[in-house]
Chain A
Amino acid sequence: MIENAKTTNPELIGKLDEKLGYLSDLRQAILVQDDRLVFELLARKKYQQQVLQQPGKSNDDLAEMVVNLKPQLSHLLANKLIAYLSVAFPFFYYKEIDEGVYQIYFGNWWDRRSFGYLDVLDVKFIFDKTEYQKLTDSVALAKENKRLNTEKITTLTKNNEHLQELVDGQSQRDMQKGSLRAQIDEVTNTRQGLFANTKLKEQRDELVAQLEELQIQDEEAKNARTQIIENNDQILFYSKEDTILSYEYKSIVEKFGDFDAFETAVDKLYTSYLATLIATEEKGAFGDYE
């Protein structure tokens, strides 16, 4: 019977053999901890194109079989990868928030930012867009000796100075208001000749306008204290963000020299890592990074 099936359905049997062969290869690669081979088996075309620099042939149909094993595979491959990354990108830290799902943290300092995810199977950083944008913006500004939030902080600080002046000026305003009111009364009560009346009215309007201006300032001063506290909280928030960004930039420069070199290294992560795995394999030494 078996012989018959093979001869009657050679194509199907061949495909099944191919699948069995694939799974058997993957199983063996995992058993001997050949991470390089696992990566190759998971995405052969990418491996052949990027690592071997050859025209690649896709094996996606085979790799599809293990799609539901991704969390376990990711967890398995993360071991050596993260050990490698801790040297190559020493400022990134990882937290496995779910099986095989690794969150990236930038730095080991206070309130470090959560910076995205590590795609282990793709050997790729998936940076949080907003956070990454802040970093690139601050890097660009650093060239002008500025920080991301310098302008915001300056504006808030100026606003606070203005508010403080309003608060401090209260007693002076009270005095001015008293004197203005007295003058208005005086002008109102003064009886003058017919021709002087227009002038008097103008004078009075001017005094009333001044008084109103002071009253507007009084209103502003009333809310000034709350506003100053709110502004201070904002300033603190922005200063903290600037401090964190400066630490991030500093760690990148310390490792890579400049930001461009860092971005290049990020882009080339897959090939660099696979090259390292090949090199360790050739030396016959597994687990250098364990």
Chain B
Amino acid sequence: MNNQTNLPTGILPSQSLVDYNAEITQALQTGFEFTELLNKTLQTSSANELLSSIQGLMQLNLGSNQVQFPHQYSTADWFLLFATRLLEINGVDDFSLASAPDHEELGVFLAGTGTKVRYQFSEATVNGAYFTEIESDKQLFYLDFAAHKLTFNSQDIIDFFMVQPVTKILPAESDQVITILLNFANVLAKTLDFEIDYSILETNNDYEYETVSFDLPSQILDKLFIASATANVLMQPVESGFGARLVLTDELEVRFLQNDNYQQINSNWHFEVIDAQGKASLLNVLVNFPFIQRWYLENRSILEIQPAQPTIVDDVKVEVLQPRSI
């Protein structure tokens, strides 16, 4: 109480509303920053600038008590915008980005599966997100911004392309979708120096697709032998190591074997896919040769490719392995 005027102790008018104003200014500045980042994201032709502006967008906390931005996109959407913009910059156009009509949400359709299914990123944090087909919830790869790495998920890829009865994807359609995914991975590796774990999509002839099995019932190979005869493919023993080779076409051969040094621990059975052009992966083989696919799926618990385990860096920068079902 001010004794002379009986007035309560006040604040100087010039100093009033300062915090209020500061808060609004801060929020508006963040808003401007946001629009600048989004502008850059939409307009840049540099992959590096795209990555940094997208990461900026993810980290901005838009809005405050005083300034509301009611319509916002999610982190998962920023991942999708990043992915599609990167493809656009690199001249890849066999996809279609779609926005929900009534709210802020992005999805993408890919050539091959057309409008049959839609893809998004899921379980997104600023560090990474899973590229996921929405209906089946199959996570085709994990895009890891923190570790600069993309890891294909062979298990879900097989489920998605070969097992699900609902979406029935034809071989030619699968091939198209896989091409886009590979394009994206290649662009990431080339322009942003991301490490790629191709897993079942690896096309390198020397790659060994390692299965979960060390011991193998001999019937598994006999079953493949019988199935191959029906498909007019001759199964032969491999020259070195123990296992089988099948010449599928003039230019394509698949092998399933255990190395010579199989006494060593961790010498699991593995596949090799050898083609003249170095373009075929194990998935191509499974998709295009029904007798191998049937055999693989019937004996999947034994033949499953080792699940890729994306290294996820969480917010406190501790490396943990994302548990994945085997």
A residues sitting closer than 8 Å to B (CB atoms) are 108-111, 233, 236-237, 239-240, 243, 246-247
Contacts and interface: CB of A to CB of B under 8 A. Distances in A.
Interface stretch (B39-47, B59-67, B144-152, B215-223): B215-223
A246 B221 CA distance: 18
A37 B107 CA distance: 84
Given A233-B219, A236-B219, A109 B234 contact: yes
Q: Is the interface of B mostly helix, strand, loop or mixed?
A: helix
Contacts of B244: 110
Select the residue from B219, B222, B234 with max chain A CB neighbours within 10 A.
Answer: B222
A247 B234 CA distance: 9
B235 A236 contact: no
- Chain B interface residue bracket vs A: 10 to 19
A40 B229 CA distance: 45
Nearest to B225: A110
A239 B226 contact: yes
B221 to A, nearest CB: 7
A109 B219 contact: no
B301 to A, nearest CB: 16
Interface in B220-259: 221-223, 225-226, 229, 234-237, 244
Contact of B229 (A233, A236, A247): A247
29 contacts: A108-B234, A108-B236, A109-B225, A109-B234, A109-B235, A109-B236, A110-B221, A110-B222, A110-B225, A110-B235, A110-B236, A110-B244, A111-B222, A111-B225, A111-B237, A233-B219, A236-B219, A236-B222, A236-B223, A237-B222, A239-B226, A240-B222, A240-B225, A240-B226, A243-B225, A243-B226, A246-B229, A247-B229, A247-B234
Contacts of A109: 225, 234-236
Contacts of A233: 219
Contacts of B236: 108-110
Nearest to A233: B219
A109 B229 CA distance: 10
B237 A110 contact: yes
